[in-house]
Amino acid sequence: MREDVVSSGLRVEGLSVEYAAKRGLGRTRGDTHKALADVGFILPTGQTLGVVGESGSGKTTLGHAVLRMTPVSRGRILWDGVDLATLSDRDLRPYRRQMQLVFQDPYEAMNPRMSIGRIIAEPLLLAYGLDRHARREQALRLLKQVGLDESLLGRRPRALSGGQRQRVTLARALATAPRLLVLDEPTSGLDVSLQARVLNLLRDLQTDKGLSYLFISHDLAAVAYIAQRLLVLFQGRVMEQGPTDALLRHPAHPYTAALLAAQPSAVPGRAPKDPAPAMNPVADPVPGACVYYQWCGKALPRCRMEAPDLTSLGADHLVACHYPGHETTSIH
């Protein structure tokens, strides 16, 4: 990437996050566990990138790494052309206001002894040092923005429903007028009716404010609703990425296809044809093989010998598979 190509929005290149591995059988000192390996993507202003994968795929780590909440081992995080990965904590501070995280479990992300008003207004105090009166005014405005009644201002988190709490965390994230939200499974704990409300709200906020979203979820249907582009992660590696519609209509990677097949579809009375793969999540990867090799139903000898690179499948669509399949999925 040349320095003169400065795009607005977020551009991540070769992002890796590694931890020192636990020492155990067959592992020697100095081994690392690659939570994320060489992840790259572009998120243009005002758009949504959906990040999908199972638990342990690195979704949450990716969200945290982009916000510099977890140490980055290698790679660049370009925000309007500035590499956030190299900034000191001090230099990073102005950028922190522009990027906010919305946690998966809103209850755990709130101090149970603080009122909703204080929870929402706290970032305003920290970031801008607003006085009490101005903070209250802003908190009211934010509350209204996420469709909550001002009577909630004095309540404690305990008194709110799950959907209301999730909207409170959203209001708090919006307090510093961010341009990017990292949404970590924002709807996974909610009933379908509340999920619909939160997803619609997110879409409206995006349209109104030109927000960019990094939307992390294992629910492909929710992602399909909100994201223009998708990034499929497995064990910290990008398996496939591209336009949402193309990816869901014609998944090229067997893992994407497996995720799709496992998705509860609107086709009644039809249990899945292929039993879902992945039974033993703790198996050590075969060195040099494709990371998905042990789970893949279509693996051939080459997949064991050689890990596939991320290659272009045309029109913005990348896949890391030696034998990308253009098969239609079982979901119509």
Which uninterrupted H or E stretch holds 40?
Answer: strand 32-44
Task: Name the DSSP letter for residue 190.
Answer: S
Tokens of residue 194, six digits: 């509340």
C-beta of 190: minimal distance to another protein in Å? 9
- Interface pick for another protein out of 191, 306, 309, 327 (rule CB under 8 A): 191
74, 156, 197, 209: residue in contact with another protein (rule CB under 8 A):
197
Q: Is 224 in the site for another protein (CB under 8 A)?
A: yes
State yes or no: residue 205 binds another protein (CB under 8 A): no
Which of 104, 195, 212, 256 forms a contact with another protein (CB under 8 A)? 195
C-alpha atoms less than 13 angstroms from C-alpha of 276 in its C-beta half-sphere: 13
Q: How far is the CB of 220 from another protein (least distance, A)?
A: 6
Q: Is 46 in the site for another protein (CB under 8 A)?
A: no
Nearest to 170 by CA among 181, 159, 157: 181
Determine the 3-state secondary structure of 281 from DSSP.
Answer: coil
Interface with another protein in residues 144-173 (CB under 8 A): 161-162
For residues 239 and 253, is the Cβ–Cβ distance under 8 A? yes
272 binds another protein (CB under 8 A): yes
Neighbouring C-beta atoms of residue 120, cutoff 10 Å = 31
Q: Shortest distance, CB of residue 136 to another protein, whole angstroms? A: 26
Answer yes or no: are the C-beta atoms of 101 and 69 closer than 8 Å.
yes
Neighbouring-strand partners of residue 182: 101, 214
Determine, following the binding rule CB under 8 A, whether residue 241 of this chain makes contact with another protein. no
- Residues lying near another protein in the complex (CB under 8 A): 54-55, 161-162, 191-197, 199-200, 203, 218-222, 224-225, 244-245, 248-249, 258-272, 275-282, 331
